[in-house]
Amino acid sequence: MAILLHIDTSIFSAQGESSRLAQAFVDRWRDSHPGAAVIERDLSQQPIPHLDAAGFQAFIAAPELRSEAQKAVVAYSDALIDELKRADVIALGLPLYNFGVPSMLKAYFDHVARAGVTFRYTERGPIGLLTGKEAFVFAARGGKYFGTTLDTQTAYVRDFLRFLGIDQVHFTYAEGLALGAGPKQIALAQAHAAIAALGTGQRLAA
C-alpha cells in the first residue's frame, strides 16, 4: 500500500497558502491511490521542540547508557523518522518567513537527521539512508524570490532531503502573494495549474 507523508509548516496551520497548495496535491494523490494511507504532520499543531545540547547528547549516547529522559528524546525522534521511512511520497508545505524556512521546519530537520539512522558517514562523504522516495515541495511567498540570491529555501531544502537520500525533489512556487489581490490570484492559479500538471512519476503512479 502506498503511503504519503503530508507535512505542513505554516504558522497558520491548514489556513496557510502553502498548506492549501500541499493539500491540493494530497487530494490529487488520494484520488489516484484509492485505499492508500496519508500520514498528517502539522508542525503548527504538533510543535517540534528545538534541539538543544541535552537532546543532541541523547542522540549520540550509547543506547544501553541512555537515561530515561534521553530514551524519551530518542523515542520522539524515532517516531518522526519512522513516518519518513514508511512514506513513499512526501508533500511539504513551505512558507517563507524572513528569508528563510520556518523555525519549526528547522527543528523537524534537526530531529530526523541522525547519523547511523537516516544517514551515515563514509570515507567518501555522507550517504543518505532514506532512498527510494519522492518529495513534492509547495512554496508560498509574499514577494518574488525564485532565481535570486534571496531564495535561501530551495537549495537548503533540496540539499537537506538529498542528504537523507531523497534525491527526487520537485518544487511548485506561488510567489508575489503580498503584492496585491490581482498578483496573488494569478500566482495561486498558476500554482494550482502546476499541481494539476505535475508528472505522475514513479512513486506518484505506484
Q: What is the CATH number of the domain that holds 8?
A: 3.40.50.360
pLDDT in tens, 132-162: 999 999 999 999 999 999 999 999 999 999 9
Give pLDDT tens digits for 47-91: 999 999 999 999 999 999 999 999 999 999 999 999 999 999 999
Query: What residue numbers bound the domain in which 146 lies?
Result: 3-205
CA–CA separation, 9 and 185 (whole Å)? 22
Q: Which residue is it, cell 493539500?
A: 23
- Phi/psi zone of residue 148: left (φ > 0), alpha (ψ -120 to 50 degrees), beta? beta
pTM of the model: 0.93
Total residues belonging to the chain: 206
Based on the structure, what is the number of domains in the chain?
1
Residue 21's H or E segment, with its range, is: helix 17-32
